[in-house]
Amino acid sequence: MEAKAEAKPSTADTLSAIADREGFLATSDPALQESADRGEAKLLDYRQLYELWERQQWATQDLDFSQDRVDWHERIDPEERFARMYGLSAFFIGEQKVADELGPIMRAAPTEEQRIFLSTQIADEARHVAFFDRFYREVGVLEGADGLAERLAATEEHVNDAFHQLFDDLLKTRVDHLAANPDDTGALVETITLYHMIIEGVLALTGQHFIIDYNTEQGTLPGFVEGFQKVARDEHRHIAFGVRFLTDMAHQDPAHLEAIQRMLAESIPIADKVLDPPWVQGDEDWEIFGQSKEETHAFAAQCLSRRLKVIGLAA
């Protein structure tokens, strides 16, 4: 057990390897910049983030899932298929929920440049839903479920209670408030902290990284891996926007730093539980996609700490 842990690269080395992937470092997400451990990072501005979006387009229709279909039904045994359903379902439903909630956040952003970037993000999140829907449909992950709504309903049983608490309670309450009060900048700062720093930064990218790595090592689901890399690159760009926005807001009014801290304190304990697979009881250890609970949490923590240092918060 210890020998295996020693043989693994450190989180910092893993992040450097991710930064080497095509177009990832270009997003300016501080988690991929070593200097962010000292609170220094090169951040793109809103117009540059928009222009990067134009250059980083991709189409779900270009992906070929034929080998994935063979792998899913013939090379992955039923027990492993069930374990994998947790990760896949959390992403499929999560993408649908974030796509649906982003409209009021976009409208509440104070500048036109910010709203233009967030509009591109709405298109990205819709594409991420389409990516999962196409994968489920072409691979035949849920036999008997026809149509997007049916597939989403059928996949819902695989996510845990903390997942619902984070999305349906914490996020939805904030977004409903912003829809009615688009001028409440403090609420917008809290919502972007929850959406971009916790849901995308801590949860989505951690799961994405380990699922991509695991499938690459196992030589499984090549079409999925190709598309999921594109999804991950989009998420780094979204998070880079979040860091830029929160940094700018903190400079404008240091009181916003308290709003960021308040939201982190409220959401991190729930996010930690979302990372636990639903079959785990209490604080027991687990391993999924070849990673232990400790390694998974260490990865999420270092990404968050680099981003917070750049925003001006000691993690």
**How far apart are CB 314 and Fe ion at their closest, in Å?**
26
Nearer to Fe ion (CB atom), residue 257 or residue 274: 274
Please choose, from the candidates 265, 257, 241, 259, the residue with its C-alpha nearest in 3D space to the C-alpha of residue 105.
241
Q: Which of 218, 233, 230, 238 is nearest to 63 (CA)?
A: 230
Helix (H) or strand (E) holding 292: strand 291-292
Scanning 129-137, 173-181, 229-237, 243-251 for contacts with Fe ion by CB under 5 A, the matching segment is: 229-237
Whole-angstrom distance, CA of residue 141 vs CA of residue 81: 9
Q: Is 238 in the site for Fe ion (CB under 5 A)?
A: yes
Residue with tokens 């013939």: 74
223 contacts: CB under 8 Å, gap ≥ 6: 63, 64, 65, 66, 67, 68, 135
* Interaction pattern, residues 249-278, with Fe ion; x per rule: CB under 5 A: ------------------------------
Binding mask 184-223 for Fe ion (x = CB under 5 A): ----------------x-----------------------
Cβ atoms of 36 and 309 closer than 8 Å: yes
Q: At closest approach, how far in Å is the CB of 95 from Fe ion?
A: 5
CA 233 to chain centre: 10
Q: Which of residues 135-194 bind Fe ion (CB under 5 A)?
A: none
Q: Cβ closer to Fe ion: 86 or 293? A: 86
Q: Rank residues 76 and 130 by Cβ distance to Fe ion and give the closer one.
A: 130
Per CB under 5 A, which of residues 62..121 are in contact with Fe ion? 95
Minimum CB distance to Fe ion, residue 234 (Å): 6
Q: How far apart are CA 160 and CA 271, in angstroms?
A: 11
Of 178 and 240, the one with the shorter C-beta distance to Fe ion is 240
Which positions touch Fe ion (CB under 5 A)?
95, 125, 128, 200, 235, 238
